[in-house]
Amino acid sequence: MELRGFHLGQSRQPLSESQRIDRAALSRLLQCILADFGYVEAPKEGCPPRTGNLSQDRINQIAATVIQTLRERGL
């Protein structure tokens, strides 16, 4: 809902750390999908490439994550 501009505030039930991480990852994925169709802007860190080949897409996502992590560390 937040990706489409609806901000409902915090839930009455607090999220655990793993739930917050999962929610953040899911939010980025959904933002990429919505950006593909022009509904929202792509995330500033960009979207991993997708080809329709799930195993190849997963390899590309892992490689993109590794490269991003190395850049953040200055390597």
Predicted confidence at residue 2, as pLDDT, reads 62
Residue 28 has pLDDT above 80, yes or no: yes
Percent of the chain with pLDDT over 70: 73
Where is pLDDT greater, at 57 or 39?
A: 39
Residue 55 Cα distances to 12, 66, 75, angstroms: 38, 17, 27
- Cα–Cα distance measured from residue 53 to residue 2, given in angstroms and rounded to the nearest whole number: 29
Give the predicted TM-score (pTM) of the model: 0.47
Residue 1 has pLDDT above 60, yes or no: no
**Region 1-25 average pLDDT:** 68
Domain spans of the chain? Answer: 15-44, 46-75
Residue 20 has pLDDT above 60, yes or no: yes
